[in-house]
Amino acid sequence: ELKVEQNPLFLSMQEGKNYTIYCNYSTTSDRLYWYRQDPGKSLESLFVLLSNGAVKQEGRLMASLDTKARLSTLHITAAVHDLSATYFCAVNNAGNMLTFGGGTRLMVKP
């Protein structure tokens, strides 16, 4: 059974600081996704990582995938308040099913 764990579960950080969210998963998978969810809203796709060593960047967010270590990271550079949200990683299971991590709630303080 595929298990996906994120840490930390909650992250409070100052604007301008850097930090990394980690996503570990338990079985081999070839696809990993990152999503963002604002409070009371739906989930929005951020990144799709399809191969070992894949790196994607959008603004202040950069995601990477190490399939051998079964680890993905979401790095935040010089955080701003607008990045406050909950971030989920999701790993492809059999077929097109995704198993989600528990989420990391990020709060960026001025």
Partner 1 sequence: DAEITQSPRHKITETGRQVTLACHQTWNHNNMFWYRQDLGHGLRLIHYSYGVHDTNKGEVSDGYSVSRSNTEDLPLTLESAASSQTSVYFCASSETGNSPLHFGNGTRLTVT
Residues 24-63 vs partner 1: string with x where CB under 8 A?
A: -------x-x-x-----xxxxx--x-x-------------
Residues of span 71-110 touching partner 1 by CB under 8 A: 88, 90, 95-103
* Strand 10-14 versus strand 104-109 pairing type: parallel
Smallest distance, partner 1 to C-beta of residue 99, A: 8
Smallest distance, partner 1 to C-beta of residue 50, A: 6
10 Å CB burial of residue 42 (0-12, 13-18, 19+) is exposed
Task: Give the span between the Cα atoms of 91 and 104, in whole angstroms.
Answer: 15
**88 contacts 37 by C-beta, under 8 angstroms:** yes
Interface residues toward partner 1, by CB under 8 A: 4, 31, 33, 35, 41-45, 48, 50, 88, 90, 95-103
